[in-house]
Structure 1
Amino acid sequence: MPAIVDAVVAQVLRLEVSLHHARARLAAGTDGEALHDLRIGLRRLRSLLKPLRGRDSVSALERAAAAVGQLTTPVRDLEVLVGELRRRGLHEAAERREARLATRYGEILHSSELAQLFACLDSWPADWRRAERGGELRRLARLLDRRLDKQRGRLLDALANLQHDPHRIRLLVKRNRYAADAYPHHSPLSRRARAALKTVQSALGDWHDRYQWCLRASREADLQPLRQPWQAQAVAALQQAEDRMLVLAGELLRTPRRHASSPRRL
């Protein structure tokens, strides 16, 4: 059996354990990072599965992970906002929003989406092994090489677009970073490129938080006084991200694209 087939199974099993652990912590209320860790596990799982798309053994698990990601996004956004309000000493505003979190956690824990995810995780190894016995995974290594290279190319194309969308760049950065972690021997990214991905993701994360807070401030009266400072911080964070994107683009260009049809200029 090819080593890569076993390696994918091992990674999914490790992620399943980490997701169970995060769920248990969320249920017990032991710490404030349980939901965050659950979402990191989901992102890693989805990044592991994305290059394997097109197989029945992958599709159901990928859909289940995406559904839980969508369900938990607004709750995580609320968590981050509560932390920001507490840092600013706005404890009353923080407590009003924090009171909603226990209810939202319960909704996640008892959701059909989370139940479906763990059901899919339970059945996935057997489905994957059937696909291997059926000959579907014979060229898996070659497929990973090609798809991870194309994924890098999509990020490079997005960075080259002068009108690029920071939301799309953020998604592509995370996708490339976690795919490189999942498939280090198949990723075309150098260590320097992977480090650059991390710094861009951090800067875009800072921008995204403030962008979301500004949207909330336009709807929630008690946040209105914070809108202007958040806007200023968002502008600064986006500029920092743009500077780091230039470094990232340079690192991505250092490795020739395997399937490039023409050179790109940034």
Structure 2
Amino acid sequence: MSFIDSIVAQVLVLEVGIHHAYARLACRTDDEALHDLRISLRKLRSLLRPMRRLDATKELDAAAADVGRLTTPVRDLEVLIAELQRQGFHDQAGRRKHLLESRYAVIENSATVQRFMAVLDGWPARMREADRQGELEQLRDRVRIRLQRQLQRLREALADPAFDRHALRLLVKRMRYVHEAYPNLSPIPHDAIPALKAVQSALGDWHDHFQWCLKADQEADLLVLKDRWEIAGESELKAAEVELSILAEYLAEQAPTVR
């Protein structure tokens, strides 16, 4: 199978997953439908990211980004509701469940989602045409170079103690998923992957508590939880800093440098 064939095959698999998750969301069959849709969407964007400047992929990448922006607040609401239930604040969770249902309906009927689905459906043919026109020459090498540059940006961020931890969380997240999209081209050492995942998890937990504290400043019924969220967030950030140091050691020792 050629490199381009493998990319098209991956996109087709992800398309099936996206349609399946969307159907589950529309039918309200389970609580994981939106989460699964967003995971498939993230994998798609990770696959496209090294190629997003190509004419053949610009429209699909932009359409996928639009769906991501549309669904992020809804997923955040799902996570907050789960946290409130876990903490035993069922009244606060119940009030937000009614809002969640209306947000699901917006996604279900969204022109943004429908446009994305149409662009996704037509993308394999567009990619094949770009290949025939010679627009994808040396695509494997171009992707490999972009992955190496992405890793270099991450290494530089890890080496800077003042680098914003919110931005660093996104760099780590993108590096992990692009590694999974292109395992044979990824410059990440295999033994660094557990450290990469540990950093993503730790910074993700911290980020959740940070966002919930901001919510508590805006929504009075959450104020009762703000103190415990702040304490948990501080602890998680300290744990994340340890994991960041471990990851930096792996990448500083073994990662190649792109000039």
TM bin (shorter chain): over 0.9
Aligned to 2:89: 90
Structure 2 letter corresponding to 1:22: A
Aligned to 1:65: 64
Aligned to 2:137: 138
8 Å Cα contact 1:152/1:176 also seen in 2: yes
8 Å Cα contact 1:188/1:255 also seen in 2: no
How far 1:88 moved relative to its partner?
Answer: 1.1
How far 1:259 moved relative to its partner?
Answer: 1.3
Describe the superposition over 1:81-133 as per-residue Cα deviations: whole angstroms up to 9, x where unpaired. Answer: 10011011111110000111111001011111100110011110011001111
Question: d(CA) in 1 for partners of 2:52 and 2:102?
Answer: 35
Aligned to 2:32: 33
Question: d(CA) in 1 for partners of 2:79 and 2:25?
Answer: 16
Structure 2 letter corresponding to 1:132: D
8 Å Cα contact 2:67/2:112 also seen in 1: yes
8 Å Cα contact 2:22/2:37 also seen in 1: yes
For 1:153-168, what aligned pairs fall within 5 Å after superposition? 153-168=152-167
Alignment CA distance shift 1:256-1:178 (3 Å): closer
Aligned to 2:51: 52
How far 1:178 moved relative to its partner?
Answer: 0.7
8 Å Cα contact 2:148/2:256 also seen in 1: yes
Aligned to 2:179: 180
Describe the superposition over 1:118-172 as per-residue Cα deviations: whole angstroms up to 9, x where unpaired. Answer: 0011110011001111111120111111000000011111111111111111111
How far 1:253 moved relative to its partner?
Answer: 1.7
SS of 1:257's partner is coil
Question: d(CA) in 2 for partners of 1:256 and 1:236?
Answer: 30
8 Å Cα contact 2:188/2:251 also seen in 1: yes
Q: Does residue 205 of structure 1 match 2:225?
A: no
Question: d(CA) in 2 for partners of 1:197 and 1:77?
Answer: 23
8 Å Cα contact 2:47/2:181 also seen in 1: yes
How far 1:255 moved relative to its partner?
Answer: 2.2
SS of 2:254's partner is coil
Q: Does residue 148 of structure 1 match 2:147?
A: yes
8 Å Cα contact 2:81/2:93 also seen in 1: yes
How far 1:3 moved relative to its partner?
Answer: 1.4
Describe the superposition over 1:214-252 as per-residue Cα deviations: whole angstroms up to 9, x where unpaired. Answer: 000001111111101100101111111111011111111
Aligned to 2:245: 246
TM-score normalised by length of structure 1: 0.95
Q: Report how many residues are paired.
A: 259
How far 1:208 moved relative to its partner?
Answer: 0.8
Farther off after superposition, 26-35 or 250-259: 250-259
8 Å Cα contact 2:41/2:64 also seen in 1: yes
Question: d(CA) in 2 for partners of 1:36 and 1:51?
Answer: 24
TM-score normalised by length of structure 2: 0.98
Structure 2 letter corresponding to 1:164: F
Question: d(CA) in 1 for partners of 2:242 and 2:102?
Answer: 40
Describe the superposition over 1:179-207 as per-residue Cα deviations: whole angstroms up to 9, x where unpaired. Answer: 11110111001122222111111111101
Structure 1 letter corresponding to 2:221: D
Question: d(CA) in 2 for partners of 1:67 and 1:192?
Answer: 34
Question: d(CA) in 1 for partners of 2:52 and 2:83?
Answer: 38
How far 1:254 moved relative to its partner?
Answer: 2.6
Question: Please, what is the CA RMSD of the aligned residues?
Answer: 1.0
Question: d(CA) in 2 for partners of 1:110 and 1:193?
Answer: 42
Describe the superposition over 1:44-81 as per-residue Cα deviations: whole angstroms up to 9, x where unpaired. Answer: 11111010122111000000000000011111111101
Off by >6 Å, runs of 4+ in structure 1:
none
SS of 1:254's partner is helix
8 Å Cα contact 2:189/2:255 also seen in 1: no
8 Å Cα contact 2:199/2:243 also seen in 1: yes
Instruction: For structure 1, list consecutive stretches of 5 or more residues without a partner in the other structure.
Output: 261-266
Aligned to 1:264: none
8 Å Cα contact 1:204/1:238 also seen in 2: yes
Aligned to 1:226: 225
Aligned to 1:74: 73
8 Å Cα contact 2:155/2:251 also seen in 1: yes
Structure 2 letter corresponding to 1:126: A
